[in-house]
């Protein structure tokens, strides 16, 4: 008899204790899909009917969500396509604790409603003492949209032509701002904008002056711009979009703007990202003058842009807890990275794989510190490993240069090295 006629019934396969347990963990739809796929393999002649349950169990994902764990060995520390900043263990624990009912908007002592996310806001205030107040929305673009809507809808935003940037995936700052109902008053030129240009443009219709950090690119040569300190004397608020999320100066990135310095220089408001150099969850940070922050917080749009309890918990833990992974990667010792690369390459070479420890250059990524390279070390493999490693479990993503796959170690915690070795050995089949 043709074995394909012996495909077991779906309900019979689902009665397997392993699949019954999986339904409770993953949901019936996910488990049934794995069973159906295994049954189809039997019909196509590629699987013994007696192995359907085993095949279904083997095909089950670890979680019901489709997102997969990736080991980022590209050398780009804040990789937008790979989810930007990896959360610290403290942030992950905090988010898990907040997953159930929590006092996100409730005062347990008095039994009445409380300010939403007050713990995260207090942590922000402590991290940036120069800020009179703080507010959190769902990303930096949202923070900028909220400021433009609350302070300049129907009015003008004065901005340098050299700062009308595109922030990725086709989204452009001018389009974002105009969508709020504000009008742009462009001043200066692409390469040079002076204080006089701003002064001539500011008037009764001005909502604020906007300074945008030109992330992802640099303009060199015959250039000039007016600083925040200079512009703060124009009599209108200066809003600084610093982008990458540094809250204080970072000696390794002296040209990267930070929130504390911008506020000390006279910025009325600063907007920044939470999931870049800060190393936290995706969030837009709004810091500055108490009255302006309150105006933004009370605007109806703020409700649509607010963050959830998981983000607030992870953000607070990032601010209060130990150094997050992005900061650890930024401050990694190149000599230690070289030693790790040598050990990894040696272990792989012992298994007969053409692996070599090589110098490498890493980058901040996420629009931060454009043009800055960070000395690093990598394991060099034949290019043929790139595809199998990307599709493995966990997925390992490196970069290909000169027909070699480079697995850069700067963004990878040392405790992950064993996983990398197992992934490479598993890909060499």
- CATH assignment of the domain containing 374: 3.90.1150.180
Mean pLDDT score, 259-272? 97
Last residue of a domain, one of 294, 322, 350: 322
State the pLDDT at residue 66: 85
Q: Does 405 fall in a domain?
A: yes
Question: Do residue 207 and residue 317 come from a single domain?
Answer: yes
- Any idea which of 1-15, 89-103, 151-165, 359-373 has the lowest mean pLDDT? 1-15
State the pLDDT at residue 171: 78
Question: Do residue 305 and residue 362 come from a single domain?
Answer: no
State the pLDDT at residue 20: 95
Q: Does 65 fall in a domain?
A: no
pLDDT at 135 over 90: yes
State the pLDDT at residue 214: 76
pLDDT band at 4 (very low <50, low <70, confident <90, very high): low
46 contact partners, CB below 8 Å, separation of at least 6 = none
Question: Do residue 296 and residue 332 come from a single domain?
Answer: no
Question: Do residue 318 and residue 381 come from a single domain?
Answer: no
Pairing of strands 156-160, 133-137: unpaired
Question: Smallest Cα–Cα separation from 293: which of 146, 140, 135, 126?
Answer: 135
Mean pLDDT score, 220-248? 90
Put the strands of the sheet holding 284-288 in their side by side order.
Answer: 133-137, 284-288, 269-273, 238-243, 206-212, 156-160, 183-187
Mean pLDDT score, 102-110? 95
Across the chain, mean pLDDT equals 93
CA atoms within a 13 Å half-sphere pointing along the CA-CB vector of 385: 28
Question: Do residue 318 and residue 240 come from a single domain?
Answer: yes
- Any idea which of 62-76, 84-98, 145-159 has the lowest mean pLDDT? 62-76
Question: Residue by residue, what is the 3-state secondary structure of the chain?
Answer: CCHHHHCCCHHHHHCCHHHHHHHHHHCHHHHHHHHHHHHHHHHCCCCCHHHHHHHHHHHCCCCCCCCCCEEECCCECCCHHHCCCCCCHHHHHHHHHCCCCCCCCEECCCCEECCCCHHHHHHHHHHCCCCCEEEEECCHHHHHHHHHHHHHCCCEEEEEHHHCCEEECCEEHHHHHHCCCCEEEEECCCCECCHHHHHHHCCCCEEEEEEECCCCCCCCCCCECCCHHHHHHHCCCEEEEEECCCCCCCCCCCCCCCHHHHHHHCCCEEEEECCCCCCCCCCEEEEECHHHHHHHHHCCHHHHHECCHHHHHHHHHHHHCCCCHHHHHHCCCHHHHHHHHHHHHHHHHHCCCCCEEEEEEEECECCECCCCCEEEEEEEEEHHHHHHHHCCCCEEECEEECCEEEEECCCCCHHHHHHHHHHHHHHCC
pLDDT band at 1 (very low <50, low <70, confident <90, very high): low
State the pLDDT at residue 100: 95
Mean pLDDT score, 212-218? 73
pLDDT at 173 over 90: no
Question: Do residue 233 and residue 151 come from a single domain?
Answer: yes
* 351 vs 254: CA distance, rounded Å: 43
Each residue's pLDDT tens digit, 361-413: 999 998 888 888 999 999 999 999 999 999 998 999 999 999 999 999 999 99
Question: Do residue 159 and residue 298 come from a single domain?
Answer: yes
257 contact partners, CB below 8 Å, separation of at least 6 = 213, 240, 242, 243, 244, 246
pLDDT at 5 over 90: no
pLDDT band at 127 (very low <50, low <70, confident <90, very high): very high
State the pLDDT at residue 262: 97
Question: Do residue 163 and residue 284 come from a single domain?
Answer: yes
Can you name the residues that pair with 272 across neighbouring β-strands? Answer: 243, 285
Higher pLDDT, 367 or 230: 230
Q: Does 108 fall in a domain?
A: yes
Domain of 413, in residue numbers: 70-82+328-427
Phi, psi of 410 (to 5 degrees): -65, -35
Axis-axis angle for helices 52-59, 28-43 (nearest 10): 130
Question: Do residue 340 and residue 212 come from a single domain?
Answer: no
Question: Do residue 276 and residue 203 come from a single domain?
Answer: yes
Under a CB-based contact definition with an 8 Å cutoff, are residues 162 and 191 in contact? Answer: yes
Q: In whole angstroms, how far apart are CA 414 and each of 278, 332, 343, 390?
A: 21, 10, 11, 20
State the pLDDT at residue 429: 65
Exposed e or buried b per residue across 382-406, where buried means at least 16 C-beta atoms within 10 angstroms of its C-beta: eeebbeebeebeeebbbbeeeebbb
Q: Give the chain's domain count.
A: 3
Can you name the residues that pair with 288 across neighbouring β-strands? Answer: 133, 269
Question: Do residue 244 and residue 121 come from a single domain?
Answer: yes
Question: Do residue 102 and residue 151 come from a single domain?
Answer: yes
Each residue's pLDDT tens digit, 350-361: 999 999 999 999
Under a CB-based contact definition with an 8 Å cutoff, are residues 133 and 268 in contact? Answer: no
- CATH assignment of the domain containing 283: 3.40.640.10
pLDDT at 63 over 90: no
Under a CB-based contact definition with an 8 Å cutoff, are residues 245 and 272 in contact? Answer: yes
Q: Does 155 fall in a domain?
A: yes
Can you name the residues that pair with 156 across neighbouring β-strands? Answer: 183, 206
Q: Does 421 fall in a domain?
A: yes
Mean pLDDT score, 243-257? 91
pLDDT at 3 over 80: no
Q: What's this model's pTM, rounded to 2 decimal places?
A: 0.91
Q: Does 386 fall in a domain?
A: yes
State the pLDDT at residue 199: 96
Higher pLDDT, 5 or 23: 23
pLDDT at 217 over 70: no
If you compute the radius of gyration of the chain from its CA atoms, what whole number of angstroms results?
26
């Amino acid at each position: 008899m043709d074995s394909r006629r012996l495909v077991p019934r779906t309900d019979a396969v689902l009665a397997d204790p392993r699949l019954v347990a999986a339904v409770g963990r993953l949901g019936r739809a996910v488990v049934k899909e794995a069973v159906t796929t295994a049954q189809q393999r039997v019909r196509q002649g590629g699987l013994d009917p007696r192995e359907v349950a085993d095949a279904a169990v083997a095909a089950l994902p670890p979680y019901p969500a489709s997102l997969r764990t990736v080991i980022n060995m590209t050398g780009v520390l804040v990789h937008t396509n790979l989810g930007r900043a990896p959360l610290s263990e403290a942030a992950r624990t905090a988010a898990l604790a907040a997953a159930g009912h929590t006092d996100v908007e409730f005062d347990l002592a008095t039994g009445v409603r409380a300010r939403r996310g007050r713990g995260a806001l207090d942590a922000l205030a402590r991290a940036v003492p120069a800020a009179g107040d703080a507010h959190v929305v769902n990303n930096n673009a949202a923070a900028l949209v909220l400021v433009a809507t609350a302070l300049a809808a129907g009015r003008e935003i004065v901005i340098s032509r050299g700062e009308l940037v595109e922030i990725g995936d086709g989204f452009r700052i001018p389009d974002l701002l105009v969508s709020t109902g504000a009008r742009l008053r462009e001043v200066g030129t692409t390469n040079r904008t002076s204080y006089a240009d701003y002064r001539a443009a500011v008037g009764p219709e001005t909502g604020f002056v906007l300074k945008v950090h030109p992330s992802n690119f640099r303009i060199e040569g015959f250039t000039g711009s007016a600083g925040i300190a200079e512009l703060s004397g124009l009599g209108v608020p200066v809003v600084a979009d610093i982008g990458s999320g540094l809250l204080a100066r970072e000696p390794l990135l002296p040209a990267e703007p930070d929130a504390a310095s911008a506020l000390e220089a006279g910025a009325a408001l600063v907007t920044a990202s939470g999931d870049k150099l800060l190393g936290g969850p995706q969030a837009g940070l709004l810091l500055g003058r108490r009255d302006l922050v309150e105006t933004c917080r009370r605007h109806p749009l703020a409700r649509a842009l607010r963050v959830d309890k998981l983000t607030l918990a992870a953000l607070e833990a990032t601010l209060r807890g130990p150094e997050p992974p992005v900061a650890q990667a930024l401050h990694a010792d190149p000599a230690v990275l070289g030693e790790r690369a040598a050990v990894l390459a040696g272990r792989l070479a012992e298994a007969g794989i053409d692996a070599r420890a090589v110098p490498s250059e890493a980058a901040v990524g996420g629009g931060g510190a454009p043009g800055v390279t960070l000395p690093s070390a990598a394991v060099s493999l034949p290019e043929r490993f790139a595809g199998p490693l990307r599709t493995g479990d966990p997925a390992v993503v490196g970069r290909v240069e000169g027909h070699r796959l480079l697995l850069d170690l700067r963004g990878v915690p040392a405790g992950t090295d064993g996983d990398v070795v197992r992934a490479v050995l598993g890909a060499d089949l």
